[in-house]
Amino acid sequence: MLKRNTTYLAVVLVFVCVFVFLFYAGDAEAKEEETVTVTAEQLNFRLGPGTRYYAMDALESGTSVEVLAKQDSWFLVSLSDGRTGWIHGYYTTGSSPETKLSLQGIAKVEITASSLNIRMGPGQEYTAFDQLQGGTEATILAEENGWLLVKTRYGSTGWVYSEYTRTLSQEVTVTASTLNVRRGPGTSYEVVEQFEQGTAVKVLQESNDWMRLFLDDGSTAWIYGYYTSDAGDSGSGRDDDASQAPSRGGRQYLQGRTIAIDPGHGGRDPGAVGVTGLQEKVVAMTTANKVAGYLRAQGAEVVLTRSGDYFVSLARRVNIAHNAGADIFVSIHANSHPNPGISGTETYYYNYGGNAYSSRKLARLVQNQMVSESGLRNIGVKHGSFYVIRAPWIPSVLVELGFLSNWNDENLLKQDWFLDGQAQAITRGIINYFN
């Protein structure tokens, strides 16, 4: 049975309505500078900003659309029938139209229903093109009559019914004697208020160390996150295992730790090969370098079992970790299966060694973060007898980021933003392990 929203969601949505009203106030018709006209004979109208996204329709030449947001050369647009989607700006008049919405969004929500339709427009009369599973997070871009325009972790956009979502927030405490509250995320923006030391603040979004929040009048403002500390759980209802460790808080847990990161395969061993030729060794190396960078930024010593495209034996990988005095060992891989429909993320540990309990704990924490970050199916934490998790005398796990044999997974594994997100997720899992 579907759960309905808390009172808190209702209050936040009121704020969201006020915020969105600031964008939509004025004439009912879109301003001329916010519209473009299709110049191609037919222009694909897609679910997301790229040709890999499904084309829901084709717009005829001369069709006028309202531009809501931009990403590179792609426009998020609204049609006259209320549908929203993406078109390529090259095939329209006007090179730089004004936009109403920021793709950074104004808040994040979590789906509270077991599954929730995501539609092409704000109402049940619009076609549902996908379902978001319970626990999935999305970014709110706008609100209209109880419907939320959201951006999913895959980059696609659509509308969900707000009754079956929960707005997420993180509570932080101001540590500076006074902290400026600014109109935007930077010191060049106007100061609109000041918070005293000890003030507890609910944050809806973080961007480059700046935090976005709602003021009492419903408008949004920003504070610099460096002068805050965590004030406890965000109230999202998750276990501590799944809570995101903020980047500024990891140093106290990783300082003095040595972590072995093992990019799977390499050299003459490409590992699995994707449906369009993407090699596992490339995915593993790219992700491992990102993880290493994030861990080092938090004060950890990192040893990579390979630093380039060359072959390293399994025994040598384990010896590198032991010789470095590593505290934990994390091996990074991408999966494959004869059934191309299989998709998802999983993490392995060895259940019969002296480090079984610690390895299982590390695997669970990393897996939770990867699933939360990617939105891929949670295949789970499993026992495995792979040499690189069986042989080490330290807690060890092997992560499978996704399936190269699945078209959608492989497409994500090609994207730098996706691998970067998974690298951050693995880092948060490691931080949580040492916390």
C-alpha–C-alpha distance, residues 169 and 252, integer Å: 23
One of 34, 280, 373, 400 is an active-site residue; which one? 400
Helix H, strand E, coil C: the string for the chain is CCCCCCHHHHHHHHHHHHHHHHHHCCCCCCCHHHEEEECCCEEEEECCCCCCCCEEEEEECCCEEEEEEEECCEEEEECCCCCEEEEEHHHECCCCCCCCCCCCCCEEEEECCCEEEEECCCCCCCCEEEEEECCCEEEEEEEECCEEEEECCCCCEEEEEHHHEEEECEEEEECCCEEEEECCCCCCCCEEEEEECCCEEEECEEECCEEEEECCCCCEEEEEHHHEEECCCCCCCCCHHHCCCCHHHCHHHHCCCEEEEEECCECCECCCECCCCCEHHHHHHHHHHHHHHHHHHCCCEEEECCCCCCCCCHHHHHHHHHHCCCCEEEEEEEECCCCCCCCCEEEEECCCCCCHHHHHHHHHHHHHHHHHHHCCCEEEEEECCCHHHHCCCCCEEEEEEEECCCHHHHHHHCCHHHHHHHHHHHHHHHHHHHC
User: Structure tokens of 206?
Assistant: 């973080």
Instruction: Give catalytic status of residue 400 as yes or no.
Output: yes
421 — phi, psi (to 5°)? -65, -40
Between the alpha carbon of residue 268 and those of residues 274, 281, 309, 312, 313, the distances in Å are 16, 10, 9, 10, 11
* Enzyme catalytic residues: 400
